[in-house]
Chain A
Amino acid sequence: MTSELDIFVGNTTLIDEDVYRLWLDGYSVNDAVALRVRSGILEQTGATAGVLQSDTMDHYRTFHMLERLLHAPPKLLHQLIFQIPPSRQALLIERYYTFDEAFVREVLGKKLSKGTKKDLDDISTKTGITLKSCRRQFDNFKRVFKVVEEMRGSLVDNIQQHFLLSDRLARDYAAIVFFANNRFETGKKKLQYLSFGDFAFCAELMIQNWTLGAVGEAPTDPDSQMDDMDVDLDKEFLQDLKELKVLVADKDLLDLHKSLVCTVLRGKLSVFSEMETNFKNLSRGLVNVAAKLTHNKDVRDLFVDLVEKFVEPCRSDHWPLSDVRLFLTQYSVSVHSLDGFRHQVLWDRYMGTLRGCLLRLYHD
């Protein structure tokens, strides 16, 4: 006796969270059944393996039918085929768009193209995440990217509106879109110690301060400004950053800057002598990073440069985080006392964000 057909349809669509997770994780029905058996559900409920198999199949079929709607979450809310309570709808959407840390680190900053998609096999092997799940996550990134890429207005708001995600998840997606759009390099070996959270934090700061949208007032004539508000860095700003070069190019200014910082920090830093010897290198590193940002390639290498030019030197001298914070604060503030320096506003816009990023990036 073999079961040809076996279905269960409820007026309210039944969603089993555990099975949903297994489905999202890309397990086959059989694997999912095996995992459920291992979870001890048979003992708890007194069910048989056959019942579990049938139940799992049923849920998988439901999820498969729902997947089409999950690709455009507002559709899920308006469709008539599945009656699902709003809280469950939210859960379905949120879980569907949730991604794995390991996976996102592999594709963050990469172009969301067919080429990358071909590499998913390797990513799957490397991360231990099933290929199916990798595909879903990759397609999610790509889908969100496609929808909001050309859109005006706040990136997070756009994502929330079109994908009905929670605030936190929408912010993460904003970071992913931002990274993918600017193609920041995150995969280099020396960046491996950084988590997605670190990058997302930086992305948020950059979106807030370095993009067009960050300027505050939207351009008066919307047609004239065809650039995307939140996704692209403010080109003018990047151009202007060249002006900061004077801070390291002008020897007097550099010395003055150093003495100002050293005066204040003397006795306050455990690594004062190391700081004093390294000041010029560090300052040169930070200012040069700014000056280079006009080139797309250098924009991509922003994080590599920051780690190379700042994080690594400090780490090799065993700076405590508190000292880094003190130094960076004093380093940016002291510039205000440099009489010959005219780009105070520019400096603050640059350094404010950079300081935040560096502090976040500075860990083991």
Chain B
Amino acid sequence: MPGKLKVKIVAGRHLPVMDRASDLTDAFVEVKFGNTTFKTDVYLKSLNPQWNSEWFKFEVDDEDLQDEPLQITVLDHDTYSANDAIGKVYIDIDPLLYSEAATVISGWFPIYDTIHGIRGEINVVVKVDLFNDLNRFRQSSCGVKFFCTTSIPKCYRAVVIHGFVEELVVNEDPEYQWIDRIRTPRASNEARQRLISLMSGELQRKIGLKVLEMRGNAVVGYLQCFDLEGESGLVVRAIGTACTLDKLSSPAAFLPACNSPSKEMKESPFNEDPNPNPHSSGPSTPLKNQTYSFSPSKSYSRQSSSSDTDLSLTPKTAPYPQGPGIYLCPSSTPLSCGSLHLKSRLLSESSLTPHHSSLVSPVLRKSVSFSEELFLAASGTGSGSAGKEGGPLKALLRQQTQSALEQRGGSPHRFCRRREFPFLTLTAFPPGLLVHVGGVVSARSVKLLDRIHNPAFVGIMGNTRSYKLLDWNSFNSDEPETRDAWWAEIRQEIKSHAKALGCHAVVGYSESTSICEEVCILSASGTAAVLNPRFLQEGTVEGSLEQRIEENLPVGCGFCHIPYDELNMPFPAHLTYCYNCRKQKVPDVLFTTIDLPTDAVVVGKGCLIQARLCRLKKKAQAEANATAISNLLPFMEYEVHTQLMNKLKLKGMNALFGLRIQITVGENMLMGLASATGVYLAALPTPGGIQIAGKTPNDGSYEQHISHMQKKINDTIAKNKELYEINPPEVSEEIIGSPIPEPRQRSRLLRSQSESSDEVTELDLSHGKKDAFVLEIDDADAMEDVHSLLTDVPPPSGFYSCNTEIMPGINNWTSEIQMFTSVRVVRLSSLNLTNQALNKNFNGLCENLLKSLYFKLRSMTPCCLCHVNFTVSLPEDELIQVTVTAVAITFDKNQALQTTKAHAEKSLQRASADNEEMLQFPLELCSDSLPSHAFPAAKAVTVEKASPMGDGNFRNRSAPPCASSTVGVVKMTPLSFIPGAKITKYLGIINMFFIRETTSLREEGGVSGFLHAFIAEVFAMVRAHVAALGGNAVVSYIMKQCVFMENPSKNQAQCLINVSGDAVVFVRESDLEVMSAQQPAVNCQPSCTGEVTT
């Protein structure tokens, strides 16, 4: 009995009138946990009963504590007939299971009924006494902390980031059980709510176990989703990043971790890779040697450049043809089923002619999958030595991290997983972790749900369609394997895409599904990246190398530098020297799924960029449908991508962050919606304009029209540049010509003259309009596209919007925040729908929705809509549902300008200082042999000296919480922070699932009234739970699902909502000045790195 759960029912208030005669209620409460139930006394004739019960005690396994929710039911006592249920409260007691979170749950909870909504409130106190259980083979994972936040939580420090954890649980959906025909809607809904609550608990426990096996203590970026597959069941799946976190107030704990010997890594087996690559995983020992004796010498770079070439393309991924188009690459994933993979390379200059695949294998038609890397770059000429300089470092990093990440899979695992995926669900990283970003990698796969991919089960039943008569317990144990395999396949593909980009890791990773009837599109996407292995492995490498790496990576642009080898680029890309440091190559455009790194140097402000697309599809059944969908997908991806590119250029920007492409499948159409935040990265070249070219050059009026359009586009670009304050500093150009970097250039000239000419042309090119984007207007469609480009209206003055955590270019938020959810459903007129009309409708829907938001929030200006999250679903034939959740944050306009200026100045200073410091290290290129002695850099010493200061800084910032939850106000935000406040405590994860149903839709104000009330109730229940935990805010709040179904003719509607977030305690920053002084990332960067490396 490792745990004792204690519950006390105190009182109720605002109960509904249950007895019409007396206008009063005789209420009592049932408290249920697992199979044990307690009851309170009946409190007669009151709408505000005071039960003040004894402590109900449940003695339970900690496994149950994790899985089961506490279920509290309020009933009206009836002497003669059955007692009427008033409503229920489900309380997830998980936050009580780990020491640092909440110690007691106490407060008023709304009493919720799936038919009537909230009916009064109940005051409950819950406590847990946990006994220590040292059983090694325990099934519980109490103590593992979960965070929805996709960055290292504010008051913690990551000691080690262990890597990807995933799990899924499958069950039959109670809504589709035979018993559903005889039970009431209420009973069905409650069965569903309870089951999902149970499954989430189980899933969380299983993930926790995996984390414990990895010797982690937390999951960050925990994302749990439901797939309502209908007849074929209910899948609850979750992904996250296992970490070892350390509370910032106790800095001692991380020291042993860093000092721990690195032997472990060397000895760890690498055989988990089914296609062992000797180059990528082999040379761990030589690497070690290099680690201890590294100096930036030419010889060294030459030496490792050979291995670099080998590494950049693993043998597994076949060399990519340089030509445009889609090609088949069946070998990219080692799937035995032989599923068909369509792979497309999307190239900016190539007019893509999608390759229709008639190769749908008749045997396994269900796993037609399509994948694609979004990676655009125009072909570059330069292959100068400056680019190579980073080569060896990259190679080192890549190898180390890869081994660090893959080593995980080597640990004996109960579930016998063959391989680990080097994925992180994080979108923001501790300083120094993210070294390079390759680009977005994504994979999609179309699956059919109607058959259980389980031979054993089919064998038993013979007929899959009748399985619902079967008790789910008898088959569900085998079923996850199928879904697991599906996801494994996709992840494998992502992994190989990342490898092709010369990256060993994927960050900002997420997975999603879209289900329509029996077809399901599985999607995964992330950003290929090179990570610094220091965080990924306990004590991988010591001191000097890391510091050298840090020093060699210029602040604010390092992540932009290409991770792949430019001689062996996986695709033609247009590379230039980094505009910030001028040392390494960067692509001309960068797409990522992560947040903008805090140290990135950005010009001007960012903005929300969306690509929207609809494609009609014939109604079809099963395989035909799946084939049709998978044939459409490449076209959609391509068009979404082109739209994004065009819009980005129209904004005069060169990078996208937080890119999220959602493809939704409906009965007769597919929808694509991509959202991202565009920014101008100072490190990347200025984007060229958009040029329009007509097909019929001799037609005078046509040409006039074209030139008119061209002018309009140019005007828009100019206007946007002004709007978003994009004035790339000309200074950076001058710095290149200025004497400071000259010695370096000269030395290189001496060293390799052949390369010098390239460099010169490179510099010249950067001024020219080499990469203008050409739009060909050859038909009405193209015309339409150009028009739609120009119809996007910029937000009204005083408004900015982005879908990332923070708005690039704005950094002094004031404390006012307003989180909101907006839902729209439109009905399309079914008559002769065309793709164009559909696109127009969809565009209009999204634009109008944004306009409405701006209008509604006009009183908050100047403000920024952050983390704007659009979700599209197609609930019925002609219905499109768009759900938006975002937070509006006010900011101080005047101050903002000043800080950005100061910030820019500072970074400039910093850049020049870096250059000077560079000169302190003579770039002597004398020896061709490996330097045999450690590099006793003065730099390292200074960093070490800085570290105690860094510690002090941190301790100051996490000053003891004077946790006084002031008012009953609970803030909610999709961001991981609260502006103007400091998060002092994480109380646990909030993960709630609600169903609401009505049979009196008209009486409740129609569909709008019904859903409005329901969402308001969901917010209320989230707030109540947070308040009961002692918190005053939810951060990283997300509405993961909002499934709305209506049947107006029957006056019925049903809605399912799933929300999650992290309950926290925050304290207002009383001294805002102190905080803003600490804010510039440049300041705290050295201290942070110093601290961790010591």
Set of chain B residues within 8 Å of A52, measured between Cβ atoms: 855
Set of chain B residues within 8 Å of A226, measured between Cβ atoms: none
In contact, B855 and A9 (Cβ under 8 angstroms): no
In contact, B796 and A5 (Cβ under 8 angstroms): no
Least Cβ–Cβ distance between A25 and chain B, in angstroms: 20
In contact, A5 and B845 (Cβ under 8 angstroms): no
Given A4-B827, A55-B852, verify A9-B110 contact (CB < 8 Å).
Answer: no
In contact, B824 and A6 (Cβ under 8 angstroms): yes
In contact, B1019 and A61 (Cβ under 8 angstroms): no
- Bound together, the chains give a CA A80 to CA B796 distance in angstroms of 34
Set of chain B residues within 8 Å of A6, measured between Cβ atoms: 823-825, 1008
- Bound together, the chains give a CA A13 to CA B1017 distance in angstroms of 12
Does A47 sit within 8 A of B, measured CB to CB?
A: yes
- Bound together, the chains give a CA A79 to CA B845 distance in angstroms of 34
Minimum CB distance partner of B845 in chain A = A1
- Bound together, the chains give a CA A57 to CA B400 distance in angstroms of 59
Minimum CB distance partner of B969 in chain A = A83
Count: A-B pairs, CB below 8 Å: 124
Interface size class for chain A? 35 or more
In contact, B819 and A7 (Cβ under 8 angstroms): no
CB interface residues, A 59-78, toward B, < 8 Å: 61-62, 64-65, 75, 78
Does A12 sit within 8 A of B, measured CB to CB?
A: yes
Does B856 sit within 8 A of A, measured CB to CB?
A: yes
Given A1-B841, A81-B118, verify A7-B14 contact (CB < 8 Å).
Answer: no
Does B822 sit within 8 A of A, measured CB to CB?
A: yes
- Bound together, the chains give a CA A1 to CA B1023 distance in angstroms of 36
CB interface residues, B 839-869, toward A, < 8 Å: 841, 844-845, 848, 851-856, 858
Given A1-B826, A4-B825, A45-B855, verify A11-B972 contact (CB < 8 Å).
Answer: yes
Minimum CB distance partner of A75 in chain B = B14
- Bound together, the chains give a CA A82 to CA B951 distance in angstroms of 43
Does A51 sit within 8 A of B, measured CB to CB?
A: yes
- Bound together, the chains give a CA A7 to CA B14 distance in angstroms of 27
Does B899 sit within 8 A of A, measured CB to CB?
A: no
In contact, A64 and B1005 (Cβ under 8 angstroms): yes
Minimum CB distance partner of B1018 in chain A = A9
- Bound together, the chains give a CA A52 to CA B121 distance in angstroms of 36
Set of chain B residues within 8 Å of A5, measured between Cβ atoms: 823-825, 881, 1007-1008, 1011, 1044
CB interface residues, B 806-853, toward A, < 8 Å: 818-829, 841, 844-845, 848, 851-853
Contact of B820 among A2, A10, A48, A80 (CB under 8 A): A10
Least Cβ–Cβ distance between A195 and chain B, in angstroms: 36
- Bound together, the chains give a CA A3 to CA B852 distance in angstroms of 13
Contact of A61 among B1005, B1023, B1046 (CB under 8 A): B1005
Q: Write the A1-37 contact mask toward B (1 if CB under 8 angstroms, else 0).
A: 1111111111111100000000000000000000000
CB interface residues, A 82-106, toward B, < 8 Å: 82-83, 85
Does A54 sit within 8 A of B, measured CB to CB?
A: yes
Does B903 sit within 8 A of A, measured CB to CB?
A: no
Does B211 sit within 8 A of A, measured CB to CB?
A: no
Does B971 sit within 8 A of A, measured CB to CB?
A: yes
In contact, A8 and B1009 (Cβ under 8 angstroms): no
Given A11-B820, A12-B818, A61-B1005, verify A81-B852 contact (CB < 8 Å).
Answer: no
Set of chain A residues within 8 Å of B856, measured between Cβ atoms: 8, 14, 55, 58
- Bound together, the chains give a CA A80 to CA B1042 distance in angstroms of 21
In contact, B1023 and A80 (Cβ under 8 angstroms): yes
- Bound together, the chains give a CA A65 to CA B1012 distance in angstroms of 10
In contact, B820 and A1 (Cβ under 8 angstroms): no
Least Cβ–Cβ distance between A147 and chain B, in angstroms: 15
In contact, B826 and A9 (Cβ under 8 angstroms): no
In contact, B1009 and A61 (Cβ under 8 angstroms): yes
Does A40 sit within 8 A of B, measured CB to CB?
A: no
In contact, B855 and A7 (Cβ under 8 angstroms): no
- Bound together, the chains give a CA A2 to CA B1016 distance in angstroms of 24
In contact, B822 and A47 (Cβ under 8 angstroms): no
Minimum CB distance partner of B837 in chain A = A1
In contact, B827 and A7 (Cβ under 8 angstroms): no
In contact, B1005 and A46 (Cβ under 8 angstroms): no
Set of chain A residues within 8 Å of B1008, measured between Cβ atoms: 5-7, 57, 61
- Bound together, the chains give a CA A294 to CA B324 distance in angstroms of 104
Least Cβ–Cβ distance between B400 and chain A, in angstroms: 44
Q: Write the B1006-1039 contact mask toward A (1 if CB under 8 angstroms, else 0).
A: 0111011101110110011000000000000000
Set of chain A residues within 8 Å of B853, measured between Cβ atoms: 8
In contact, A55 and B855 (Cβ under 8 angstroms): yes
Does B994 sit within 8 A of A, measured CB to CB?
A: no
Set of chain A residues within 8 Å of B1044, measured between Cβ atoms: 5
Does B939 sit within 8 A of A, measured CB to CB?
A: no
Given A61-B1005, A83-B970, verify A7-B1012 contact (CB < 8 Å).
Answer: yes
In contact, B14 and A81 (Cβ under 8 angstroms): no
CB interface residues, B 977-1017, toward A, < 8 Å: 1005, 1007-1009, 1011-1013, 1015-1017
Least Cβ–Cβ distance between B967 and chain A, in angstroms: 8
Set of chain A residues within 8 Å of B822, measured between Cβ atoms: 7-9
Least Cβ–Cβ distance between A186 and chain B, in angstroms: 34
- Bound together, the chains give a CA A131 to CA B791 distance in angstroms of 44
Set of chain B residues within 8 Å of A47, measured between Cβ atoms: 851, 854-855
Does A50 sit within 8 A of B, measured CB to CB?
A: yes
Minimum CB distance partner of B1009 in chain A = A61
Minimum CB distance partner of B1010 in chain A = A5
Set of chain A residues within 8 Å of B453, measured between Cβ atoms: none
- Bound together, the chains give a CA A82 to CA B1019 distance in angstroms of 9
Least Cβ–Cβ distance between B872 and chain A, in angstroms: 14
Set of chain A residues within 8 Å of B881, measured between Cβ atoms: 5
Does B13 sit within 8 A of A, measured CB to CB?
A: yes
Set of chain A residues within 8 Å of B1024, measured between Cβ atoms: 80
Set of chain A residues within 8 Å of B1017, measured between Cβ atoms: 81
Set of chain A residues within 8 Å of B1046, measured between Cβ atoms: 4
- Bound together, the chains give a CA A81 to CA B1014 distance in angstroms of 10
Contact of A83 among B118, B852, B1023 (CB under 8 A): B1023
Q: Write the B888-908 contact mask toward A (1 if CB under 8 angstroms, else 0).
A: 000000000000000000000
In contact, B1019 and A2 (Cβ under 8 angstroms): no
In contact, A9 and B845 (Cβ under 8 angstroms): no
Set of chain B residues within 8 Å of A12, measured between Cβ atoms: 818
In contact, A2 and B827 (Cβ under 8 angstroms): yes
Set of chain B residues within 8 Å of A82, measured between Cβ atoms: 1016, 1020
Set of chain B residues within 8 Å of A9, measured between Cβ atoms: 820-822, 1012, 1015-1016, 1019
- Bound together, the chains give a CA A221 to CA B827 distance in angstroms of 70
- Bound together, the chains give a CA A64 to CA B1004 distance in angstroms of 10
Chain B CB within 10 A, most for which of A5, A10, A46, A78: A5
Set of chain A residues within 8 Å of B879, measured between Cβ atoms: 4
- Bound together, the chains give a CA A83 to CA B13 distance in angstroms of 18
Does B559 sit within 8 A of A, measured CB to CB?
A: no
Minimum CB distance partner of A13 in chain B = B1016
Chain B CB within 10 A, most for which of A4, A10, A61: A4
Set of chain A residues within 8 Å of B855, measured between Cβ atoms: 45, 47, 51-52, 55
In contact, A4 and B110 (Cβ under 8 angstroms): no
Least Cβ–Cβ distance between B700 and chain A, in angstroms: 37
Does B108 sit within 8 A of A, measured CB to CB?
A: yes
Least Cβ–Cβ distance between A208 and chain B, in angstroms: 35
In contact, A11 and B1019 (Cβ under 8 angstroms): yes
Minimum CB distance partner of B793 in chain A = A46
- Bound together, the chains give a CA A140 to CA B367 distance in angstroms of 65
Least Cβ–Cβ distance between B329 and chain A, in angstroms: 41
Least Cβ–Cβ distance between B666 and chain A, in angstroms: 15
Set of chain A residues within 8 Å of B110, measured between Cβ atoms: 80-81
A-B contact pairs, 5 of them (CB 8 A): A9-B822, A14-B818, A45-B858, A47-B851, A80-B118
Kindly list 11 other residue pairs between chains A and B, CB separation below 8 angstroms, not including A11-B972, A83-B969: A7-B822, A7-B824, A8-B821, A11-B820, A14-B818, A51-B852, A58-B1012, A81-B110, A81-B1017, A83-B970, A83-B1023
Q: Nearest 3 CB-CB pairs, A to B?
A: A5-B825, A10-B820, A11-B819
Using a CB–CB cutoff of 8 Å, the interface residues on chain A facing chain B are 1-14, 45-48, 50-52, 54-55, 57-58, 61-62, 64-65, 75, 78-83, 85
